[in-house]
A and B are shown apart, each in its own frame.
Chain A
Amino acid sequence: MNTLPAAEAFSLQGLRRSFRYFTLEDISLSLPLGQIMGLVGPNGAGKSTTIRLLLGLIAPEAGEIEVLGHRMPGDAAAAKREVAFVSDDMRLFGTATIGWHLRFMASLYPHWDQAYAAQLLKRFNLRDEQLVKGLSRGEHVKAMLLLALARRPRLLVLDEPTSGLDPVARHELLTELMEIVRDESRSILFSSHQTQDVERISDQIAFIDRGRLVDARDKENFLERWRRLSVDIPVGVRLPELPGVVDLTLGERFATLTTDRYDGDIEARLVAAGAIIHEVQRMSLEEIFVASVMRSRQQVKS
């Protein structure tokens, strides 16, 4: 059992796992303590598989996994004392009440925070005596989050946690998550295809598509490097070779180009070539995600 203090919440190195119709390949990711990572990908991209590998629920064919200093899957039981996980495809025990679940969890976790659990119960408008099978989808998600948060985990892993939540509950959850990482020893891995949620709370972002890691870096880096430029091209002017052009739409006198290596130099080179820069747009995380995925798919094809 590895009990050394961890510098990272988790680290995945060269993970590979294949199924009959899907292969997750060469996934390398790490998250520093005290940060939130958004794992973004379309449905079926491999987000849940990555998370299940991380938690030791399934075994990799290749690669190494370390969670809070624990090697996985061998040391999963010890790691899970400090990790909480909530997934969209997870359910509590239908014939038991929320109160029973609270007592059950309190008996398993020495750091269970009863006062915080009571506070969340009230905030999420849930009641002790409610039977789980009578809960709405949103209430069920809230109950699972309550049970995860009151464990006071050092790493909170959430797989599509906001699906099924109304906008108010979603806002409450995201606020709660940001509150958790105020304590710099706690970290969150948050998978979603809702890029607005990820953009709002994440420090680190990883894009995954068709079982491959498309890109992973800190959010500011993503947002600063990606730009969409609208350029007028006077007659006789040719666009110069530019670095990092991900997409180029050419009209007769007009071009729109998307770059993932934006800096002042690109503008200078365009102007020097005689082009007139009409507009430089920052891109939303969703636009960056779509552009990244499309480029990755083209690269795989070629």
Chain B
Amino acid sequence: MNSVFWALVRKDLYLLRGFMVAMLGSGILGIVIMALGSTVGLAGASLAVGGILFLTANVAGGIFLASYALLSDRKELTRLFALTLPISGPRYDQAKLLGGYLAFLIPWAALTVLVLVPSLLPGGVRGMVVYALVIQCFVLALFSVVMGTLFVVTTEAASGIMILTVNILFSLFMVSINQPPIIEPMKTAQITWTPFALWMLAGEFVVICASMVFTTSVIARRRDHI
């Protein structure tokens, strides 16, 4: 890994810092709303509003970060400038991939830790740690799919279809995970790894790995870099 590679990764983190701060800020606001609601007797409403804000920050943040990192690089013609730097085409794409992942993973990891805190505090429903982890890993898997797809598709129409599909998938997932037979076994005082949770986490792990393998193989096989 040479210095140009890391300079390009740092460059992406610098240019994406606005999106990262926005994702982190709105996610934290969602957590605060969820936490405050229960103290003023509006637990149901605050859980809904804060939860939606938190999940939107995660999902939309991922889509915005991936789109800005990859699509705008092509659309705003900055890719040609970056490719004049002393780095090969595949290494540039690898730097782009790592920069995009880090830009997402930093706020995602912070939000994941923060959203687990209320469940881990004394009196918290510890079983919800598993629930939150399954959701957050699903978001990470979707982000991986978005990144992989945006490395391949070049048209705005295809990107739009992919983003729409991701939103539909996430909505279906949220409907499924909130079905009583699935969520109720997780609402325990202790952390309980239900079969559903374990299967979901395993599936999410496979999707994340497959997306990364797919993306890196696309990068390695690409002969034209512009």
Q: What is the interface of chain A, defined by CB distance below 8 A to chain B?
A: 52, 55-59, 73, 76-78, 80-81, 83-87, 89-96, 100, 104, 107-109, 144, 148
Contact = CB atoms under 8 A, between A and B. Distances in A.
Interface in B9-49: 11, 14-15, 18
A76 B90 CA distance: 11
A91 B224 contact: no
Given A57-B225, A91-B76, A95-B15, A108 B81 contact: no
Contact of B223 (A59, A83, A86, A109): A59
B94 to A, nearest CB: 12
B113 interface: no
Nearest to A153: B84
Given A57-B226, A96-B15, A87 B86 contact: no
A275 to B, nearest CB: 54
Contacts of B87: 77, 80
Contacts of A77: 4, 86-88, 91
B89 A56 contact: yes
B84 A85 contact: yes
B209 interface: no
A57 B77 contact: no
Contacts of A78: 86
B86 A58 contact: no
A105 to B, nearest CB: 8
B53 interface: no
A154 B88 CA distance: 19
B78 interface: yes
Interface string B87-111: 1110100000000000000000000
B89 A76 contact: yes
Given A94-B76, A96-B14, A57 B224 contact: yes
Contacts of A86: 84
Interface of B: 3-4, 7, 11, 14-15, 18, 76-78, 80-81, 83-89, 91, 223-226
Contacts of B226: 52, 57-58
B86 A92 contact: no
Contacts of B225: 57-58
B11 A81 contact: no
B81 A144 contact: yes
B91 A90 contact: no
A108 B78 contact: no
B7 A108 contact: yes
A55 B89 contact: no
Closest CB pairs A-B (n = 9):
A59-B223, A91-B77, A90-B80, A58-B224, A85-B84, A80-B86, A81-B86, A77-B88, A57-B226
Contacts of A81: 86
A300 B81 CA distance: 36
B138 to A, nearest CB: 31
Contacts of B4: 77, 108
A57 B3 contact: no
Contacts of A57: 80, 83, 89, 224-226
Contact of A91 (B15, B78, B86, B91): B78
Contacts of A94: 76, 78
A80 B78 contact: no
A74 to B, nearest CB: 8
Contacts of A80: 84-87
A95 B15 CA distance: 7
A85 B7 CA distance: 19
B76 A87 contact: no
A104 B89 contact: no
B113 to A, nearest CB: 29
Given A96-B14, A108-B4, A90 B85 contact: no
Nearest to A147: B81
A55 B16 CA distance: 28
